[in-house]
């Protein structure tokens, strides 16, 4: 009997072990069956974790209020001397137009505060639109051919060689028509984030080339004739643009001097002049050449051709020319 009970006990134990194994297997199957769902849930949680911060990203901070003064209101604009000769390899096409242009070095001399460019047509009549971002100053001068555009009162303006126009910041954008032989010199000063003075003057003005507009000695040199090209009054004397020409051929030197100008820029219209700038070799400026001279830099102009004429940018319009000794190295 004892032996039978032992056998029965073994059988019972075996059954219990089998039942436990079955239960364990069922639990494993359930866990395996739930695994894909767990993976999907995990993926959903990961996706939610990635998207949520993006959706709640902090807004882009607003730029600080403008504090800088516009270029034409600054005490020093030109910070480096620049001489840019007229070279055919410097011309570049203007995208989206039939015109081409070349840089005149003012951008480099002022570290981007102002720009000057020489623009010309490529042998065909052209129509284009003013590309006018926010500007502190904009002046155009017709060198050759003609250009036509609408004025600020709905009329039409045609500039011919020697004519110039001051275009204020409020000047409307419109279409420009130019002749096939058109050339102009353009001066601009981007406004950027600067805040113009509330009481300053900005007006549209056109100045036509007239013989009687040239006044001998109406500038630093008695042997030159000066014509105010319209920017002085239109900008409230922040900017002066003169067309300067020689009364007669002269070997007379201006003598070493400097100006109390924030920026002086010249663009030769015809003829030539010799110029020596402190720390640099003498150069001869010819038609199409440009030069920028910073505040207080000494220079001398020892000679001119009889037909010499130049467009001269002076900032501000009221300044002093101070005679000085030649630099030691000159």
The single residue listed with the structure tokens 């500038």 is 219
**Token digits of residue 47:** 């996706």
Q: Which residues contact 278 (CB under 8 A, 6 or more apart)?
A: 297, 298, 299, 327, 330
pLDDT tens digits along 103-152: 999 999 999 999 999 999 988 888 877 766 789 999 999 999 999 999 88
Distance CA 289, CA 105 (A): 10
Q: Provide the pLDDT for residue 161.
A: 98
Name the DSSP class of 73.
Answer: G
Q: Provide the pLDDT for residue 22.
A: 58
Q: Which residues contact 260 (CB under 8 A, 6 or more apart)?
A: 295, 296, 319, 320, 322
Q: Provide the pLDDT for residue 114.
A: 97
- For 226, phi then psi, to 5°, come to -120, 140
The residues with which 159 forms a beta bridge, in sequence order, are 147
pLDDT tens digits along 164-189: 999 998 888 788 999 999 999 999 99
- Residue 154: count of CB within 10 angstroms of its CB: 7
Give the CATH fold of the 76-323 domain.
Jelly Rolls (2.60.120)
Q: Provide the pLDDT for residue 247.
A: 79
Q: Provide the pLDDT for residue 152.
A: 82
Name the DSSP class of 251.
Answer: -
- Residue 100: count of CB within 10 angstroms of its CB: 14
Look at residues 274, 273, 277 and name the one whose alpha carbon lies nearest to residue 256. Answer: 277
Look at residues 300, 301, 285, 295 and name the one whose alpha carbon lies nearest to residue 320. Answer: 295
pLDDT tens digits along 189-214: 999 888 899 899 999 999 999 999 99
User: Is residue 206 within 8 Å of residue 148, measured between CB atoms?
Assistant: no
Please state the domain extents for the chain. Answer: 76-323
User: Cβ-count burial of 52 within 10 angstroms (0-12 exposed, 13-18 middle, 19+ buried)?
Assistant: exposed
Q: Provide the pLDDT for residue 201.
A: 95
Q: Provide the pLDDT for residue 54.
A: 29
Q: Provide the pLDDT for residue 19.
A: 56
Distance of CA 90 to the CA centre of its chain: 18
Residue 1 has pLDDT above 50, yes or no: no
Distance CA 305, CA 206 (A): 29
Cis-peptide into 316, omega within 30 deg:
yes
Cα separations (Å) of 245 from 56, 242, 276, 315?
Answer: 66, 10, 19, 20
Q: Tell me which of 315 and 31 has the higher pLDDT.
A: 315
pLDDT tens digits along 248-293: 766 778 999 999 999 999 999 999 999 999 999 999 999 999 999 9
pLDDT tens digits along 2-52: 444 444 444 444 555 555 555 555 544 454 444 444 444 444 443 333 333
pTM of this prediction? Answer: 0.78
């Amino acid at each position: 009997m004892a032996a039978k009970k032992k056998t029965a006990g073994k059988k019972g134990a075996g059954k219990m072990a089998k039942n436990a194994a079955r239960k364990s297997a069922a639990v494993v199957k359930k866990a395996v069956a739930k695994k894909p769902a767990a993976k999907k849930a995990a993926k959903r949680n990961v996706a939610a974790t990635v998207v949520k911060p993006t959706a709640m990203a902090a807004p882009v901070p607003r730029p600080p209020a403008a504090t800088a003064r516009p270029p034409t209101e600054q005490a020093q604009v030109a910070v480096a001397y620049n001489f840019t000769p007229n070279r055919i390899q410097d011309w570049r096409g203007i995208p989206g137009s039939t015109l081409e242009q070349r840089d005149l070095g003012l951008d480099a001399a002022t570290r981007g505060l102002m720009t000057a460019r020489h623009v010309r047509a490529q042998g065909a009549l052209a129509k284009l639109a003013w590309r006018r971002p926010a500007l502190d100053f904009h002046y155009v001068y017709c060198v050759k051919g003609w250009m036509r555009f609408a004025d600020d009162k709905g009329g039409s303006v045609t500039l011919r060689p020697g004519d110039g126009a001051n275009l204020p910041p409020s000047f409307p954008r419109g279409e420009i028509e130019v002749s096939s032989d058109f050339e102009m010199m353009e001066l601009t000063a981007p406004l950027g984030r600067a805040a113009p003075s509330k009481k300053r003057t900005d007006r549209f003005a056109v100045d036509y080339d007239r013989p009687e507009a040239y006044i001998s000695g109406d500038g630093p040199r008695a042997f030159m004739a000066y014509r105010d090209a319209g920017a002085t009054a239109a900008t409230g004397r922040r900017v002066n643009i003169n067309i300067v020409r020689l009364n007669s051929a002269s070997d007379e030197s201006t003598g070493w001097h400097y100006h109390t100008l924030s920026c002086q820029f010249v663009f030769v219209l015809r003829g030539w002049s010799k110029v020596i700038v402190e720390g640099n070799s003498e150069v001869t400026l010819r038609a199409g050449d440009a030069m920028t001279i910073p505040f207080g830099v000494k220079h001398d102009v020892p000679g001119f051709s009889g037909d010499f004429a130049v467009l001269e940018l002076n900032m501000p319009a009221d300044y002093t020319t101070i005679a000085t000794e030649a630099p030691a190295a000159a």
